[in-house]
Structure 1
Amino acid sequence: MAPAGKWNAPPGVRWGLAGLALLVAGSAATAAVEEGVALGGGWELLAGLPLVVVVAVLTLVQCEPPPRRVPYGWRLALLGVQAVLTYVLVISLPGSWLGLSGLLAGAALCALPPLPGSVLAVAVAGSGPLLVAAGWVAAPPGGGVAAALRAVVTACAVCTVARLAMVVARVHGAREQAARLAAQRERQRLRRDLHDLVGSSLAAIAVQAESVLRAGPPGGAGVEELRRALVTAVGLARRAHHDVRVLCDPEEGAVPLLDEVHQASRALSCAGLAVRVVAPPAVEADAAVVECLRAVLREAVANVLQHSRATRCAIVLEAGAAGVRLVVRNDGVAPPGGERPRRGTGLVGLRARVGALGGVFGVDTDGGTFTVSAVFPSDPTEIPRASE
């Protein structure tokens, strides 16, 4: 992942962020101009301008797409600060400043889940007419109802542009993960082809050349030159065969398991999911088991990105004297009566692969979550029951 300050966002995300910045800045500037005209300038307008800038910046922070999206807890805290600043402007300073309520409602729609965000946005938009009716705020042009309508339009526009940028970021993350999986599958195919075709051919050359040497030199001239050529061919064939075996070694140049976990976490974060990773500092396991766990993790992450509507995902890797256990759990299960999650050929193939190494592969959809797990106990007689 690119370091802070050097994030190479895809073009669609950059256009979305630029449009969002213009929309928020324009809404804040419109509110300031309306109040300036109503108040005729003066200290009241100058006192409100810094708070207007802070409210606009907080709105942009709330709507920023991944991977720079702030954690959920921070979004709640910043939303509370923005609400306080907005209503300080609306209630404490002369004028109405109700034009800023649309930015607060839009930030609520972006920062919170759909249901609570919609409820809070409606409450913010409806607070304008109530404050005007109570006499706490001067009536803006068009009255409190017009202010509420402007707030709804602004909130919907801010939320729509921000959500589009988030969708583009998520699609970009899924595309990168799919490309990485495709490259990994291609490398595996090349390893198999090299081993099965080139490696076996080189081994056959070496065996045939050695059989000629063991048969002894034939009579006639040029025997010594022929023998030297055969010796050279045997050496080259054996060295090439060794190079192919090294190339086809699954651990040769492979990504360590912990690095694979962190790569998966970054891919999920870039797609907009809240990710929790629990992993030990080091994993000691058989090379075949590590390669299988990498395949399970890649397939599970690909399923989350491509086939689910998850918002949270947890990756738990445990390694100890009892064995190795990998769990990938997300909240992308459809509600009761909805579409059931699909179990494609990838999961079926993983079950067979894990079982061939003495492990247990499980898929569980209980509790509103979708869980993929792979367990490789150190003692094969203590294999736990698989989750079906």
Structure 2
Amino acid sequence: MKYVINDQLALTVAPEGPLAALIVPFAKSVSAQGYSLYTIDRQLRLAAGFSLWLKQKKIECHQIASYHPEQYLQFRSRQFRYRPDDAAALRHLIGFLRSERVILAEKVSVPQVTEVKRLTQAYKQYLREARNLAEPTIAYYVPFIRHFLNDRFGNGAVTLSHLSARDVVRFVQRQASRLHRGRAKLMTTALRSFLNYARYRGEVVLDLAAAVPAVANWSMPSIPRAISADQAHLLLESICCQTAVGRRDYAILLLLARLGLRSGEVAFLELEDIDWNAGTLSVRGKNGLRNAFPLPLEVGNAIAAYLRDGRPTSTSRRVFLRARAPTRGFLSSSAVGSIVRYSLKRAGLKAPTYGAHQFRHGLATEMLRQGASLEEIGDVLGHRHPQTTMIYTKVDLEALRTLALPWPGGVQ
């Protein structure tokens, strides 16, 4: 006799064991995450089999440990073909049991916190709270500082007052030769930031930030790789907007191409960030501050089409959600990069790169060629410093002739 879960799911026999009463609540939990009926059915069968195995092993709910699912899968593989998603299904079950407090999270031994780790954590908090830097920027800075401190102090005591200009110069000289110029520049910027922080703490008296050497020949080293306007047009035309995924990807690509947003700004965009009445879009930039953009009609229509006919039902406030279960917002900006890469390959376009940033460069390049000033381009891209926008002066020298300032005292 079948054991009915709901009007669409049923097990061939009633579940047995310590988890039997939790099979139906588990089914509701998995269903709410947007999984297909086929996937839910497989997860329920594994859960029922796991419960029966626990009964046979005389293991009660409170005795379930993280290694039991692996033992059960080894036992099950003697009767059924192993599938790669079986382990993930049981992890979902264990997560559900912990969320329901049926089993407690296992205690994990806390690794010893070294002085280097303690100091880098304090520096990270300073960047986040006092400097209000964006999380991606912090994530770039901290590994360089950890490496610097480990290189100088190892596992011993960290005494910042013992740092000297020689330590700083020696570290930069060794590392710069191994790094790309962009990474080397980032390393020296991070190092100056940390040394200023050390001075702010009162542990360093000298201005060691001034001792950080410049990496030779990095200023405006290359023209940004930008997708052309024609390629961006062909890419957008290649997207099929008859499907939910197509409507989502089309709206994402339009935000990149028309507004020059960064991938993280698109990935973490929330419903409240769109003011439909005013026709504006508010995004949190790299500096942590919010920037307001006018919402072009074309972009607004694309987002509205996705929200109306493509976005899955979810409690998430993110504008763009995963197409596959679990239904939620993107975990990182790399998801937007993956959409760009997949769309370019599917369209058969040989763009300068497969990343999302090329749209930002493409917008700036096109604006420059249309006669926009560097200040206007910087405003659109949300640049805080004019030097950041200056790299686009290499793009089109003819366009820049109209922007050139007269040489003081006459032509030289």
TM-score (norm 1): 0.20
Q: Which has the higher helix share?
A: 1
Higher share in strand:
1
